[in-house]
């Protein structure tokens, strides 16, 4: 995370990751948001009394979590999403009413903001004074608490924070920014960061795609956006620029992609993913050939090009950076590989030309190589392998209501799965709490990521089309 210039800038970056993590584990978002603001001084240098806080932010340590807590009762058995690397910094601690500086304390490094918050809640869920598998020190005493003042008081009294003013400082921040407005988590998607070893078995945790460096051009392009907050971002489309120059910004009237990758592999963001742009429209003689992807549900990445002998080419740097960026976007917004498309798979336009008109020519990759590279970033496969079959079902999750949900419910019911209420799953096409509960239990039992999303990795197993 980068250094911020305003309190709101910091809040804008952490609120949704916090809410996704609290949806998965419990805990009040208002309290966790305020704790992060307090620990990191809103990411503003002038607020810090310890200049080494910048080191924590650089490595996305959002709650000041140390590397070694409660004798690793949770980390050593895989109940953590920490990648394993640390940084050393001095830290102020209060002991017997006096502030002292503890030198070279080890703090955790994380790959993303959301991973840090998830790991804090792993600690709150499983950390124990009694060794691995022992009674959690915090656990349900804090995870199910619905009153911010009671929650932060319990956290403090149980020993998480040594400062005597910690609870009052957290509550002051909650009141200042009206953070309780974020405590209602209806419709929030739970985080993907959840330990594979939640049952106590040590397993390797698949790490997420790291965020590439992205130069922010959103503010400069706001006036070009046709409609704000009008994109549900279910698909990702790849475009080519079609000129020899560079253009990281939107064209007049909101044409162009949300993101742009230059010839040297530099990534830019021109609009929010929730903004509707005119990048996959069927006008000027083109027509739609994809049944669902439209401007209202598709993110676009525009890629720089150069021409030679009447043909268009991508540089190797552009393609590598675009694949990395695409994988991160898909991970961040739960877009399945099946929804990664060329513009020319949405409409009849020959875009991106390097992959449609002259794939594999010179530095141009093929579309298959591009998708395989994205899949490699995500740790997934997109082609049929031995015992694995391509499944033509959309990715579904809690809140959906369609025929694919009904198919999932039939499969779960046929396998004897029950909901959170202990009753057999109803086949009503409504992806509610009981369906999510049954799916998560199924995913855990089959070595899948227990995120409650039925996508390209879960469908084959649910349908019995993947060898176990």
List the structure tokens of 167: 């609870």
**DSSP labels for 176-223?**
HTTGGGG---TTPPPPS---TTTTS---PPPPPPPPPPEEE-HHHHGG
The total of other beta-carbon atoms located within 10 Å of residue 215's CB is: 12
pLDDT confidence bin for 396, thresholds 50/70/90: confident
Tell me the CATH number at 322.
3.40.80.10
146: left (phi over 0), alpha (psi -120 to 50) or beta: alpha
Is residue 268 classed as helix, strand or coil in its secondary structure?
A: strand
Same structural domain, 17 and 135: yes
Residue 255 domain flag: yes
45 against 239, higher pLDDT: 239
Which pTM was predicted?
A: 0.45
Q: Are residues 427 and 333 in the same domain?
A: no
Instruction: Please count the structural domains in the chain.
Output: 3
* Domain hosting residue 80, numbered range: 7-182
- CA 69, CA 114: separation in Å to the nearest integer? 20
Q: Based on the fold, state whether residues 374 and 408 are members of the same structural domain.
A: no
* 107-116, 237-246, 371-380, 458-467: which is most confident: 237-246
Q: What percent of the chain has pLDDT over 90?
A: 45
**What is the average per-residue pLDDT within 212-241?**
93
pLDDT digits (tens, 9 = 90+) for 25-64: 999 999 999 999 998 889 887 776 556 677 788 889 999 8
CA distance 310 to 359: 14
CB atoms within 10 A of CB 379: 14
Looking at the structure, tell me whether residues 308 and 443 fall in a common domain. Answer: no
Q: Residue 97's pLDDT is what?
A: 57
Q: What percent of the chain has pLDDT over 70?
A: 87
- Mean pLDDT for 375-403 is 59
pLDDT digits (tens, 9 = 90+) for 241-277: 999 999 999 998 899 999 999 999 999 999 999 999 9
* Alpha-carbon span 247 to 147, nearest angstrom: 49
Greatest pairwise CA separation for the chain in angstroms: 77
28 and 160 share a domain?
Answer: yes
Enter the tokens of residue 462: 């649910």
Q: Given a cut of 90, is residue 194 above it in pLDDT?
A: no
* CB atoms inside a 10 Å sphere around CB 281: 15
347 in any annotated domain: yes
């Amino acid at each position: 995370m980068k250094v911020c210039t305003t309190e709101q800038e910091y809040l804008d970056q952490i609120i949704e990751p916090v809410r996704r993590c609290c949806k998965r584990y419990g805990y009040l978002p208002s309290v966790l948001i305020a704790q992060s603001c307090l620990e990191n001084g809103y990411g503003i240098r002038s607020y810090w009394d310890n200049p080494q806080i910048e080191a924590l932010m650089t490595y996305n340590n959002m709650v000041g979590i140390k590397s070694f807590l409660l004798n690793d009762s949770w980390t050593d058995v895989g109940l953590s999403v920490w990648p394993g690397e640390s940084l050393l910094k001095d830290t102020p601690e209060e002991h017997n009413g006096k502030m002292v500086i503890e030198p070279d304390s080890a703090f955790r490094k994380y790959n993303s903001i959301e991973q840090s918050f998830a790991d804090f809640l792993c600690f709150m869920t499983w950390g124990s004074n009694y060794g691995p598998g022992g009674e959690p020190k915090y656990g349900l005493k804090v995870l199910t608490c619905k009153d911010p003042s009671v929650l932060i008081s319990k956290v403090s009294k149980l020993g998480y924070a040594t400062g005597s003013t910690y609870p009052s400082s957290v509550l002051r921040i909650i009141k200042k920014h009206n953070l309780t407005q974020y405590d209602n988590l209806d419709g929030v998607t739970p985080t993907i960061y959840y330990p594979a070893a939640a049952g106590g078995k040590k397993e390797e945790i698949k790490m997420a795609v790291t965020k590439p460096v992205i130069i922010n051009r959103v503010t400069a392009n706001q006036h070009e956006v046709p409609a704000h907050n009008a994109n549900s971002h279910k698909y990702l489309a790849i475009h080519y620029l079609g000129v020899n120059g560079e253009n990281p910004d939107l064209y007049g009237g909101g044409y162009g992609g949300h993101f742009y990758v230059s010839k040297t592999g530099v990534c830019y963001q021109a609009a929010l993913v929730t903004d509707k742009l005119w990048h996959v429209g069927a006008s000027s003689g083109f027509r739609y050939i994809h049944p669902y992807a439209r401007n209202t549900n598709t993110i676009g990445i525009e890629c720089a090009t150069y021409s030679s002998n009447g043909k268009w080419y991508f540089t190797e740097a552009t393609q590598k950076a675009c694949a990395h960026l695409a994988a991160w976007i898909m991970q961040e917004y739960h877009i399945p590989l099946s929804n990664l498309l060329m513009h020319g798979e949405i409409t009849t336009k020959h875009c991106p030309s390097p992959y449609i008109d002259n794939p594999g020519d010179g530095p141009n990759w093929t579309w298959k190589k591009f998708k395989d590279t994205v899949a490699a970033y995500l740790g997934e496969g997109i082609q049929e392998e031995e015992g694995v079959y391509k499944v033509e079902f959309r990715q579904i999750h809690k809140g959906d209501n369609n025929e694919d949900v009904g198919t999932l419910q039939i499969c779960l019911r046929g396998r004897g799965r029950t909901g959170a209420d202990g009753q057999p799953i109803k086949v009503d096409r409504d992806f509610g709490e009981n369906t999510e509960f049954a799916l998560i239990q199924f995913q855990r039992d089959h070595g899948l990521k227990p995120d409650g999303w039925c996508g390209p990795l879960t469908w084959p197993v649910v349908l019995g089309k993947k060898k176990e």
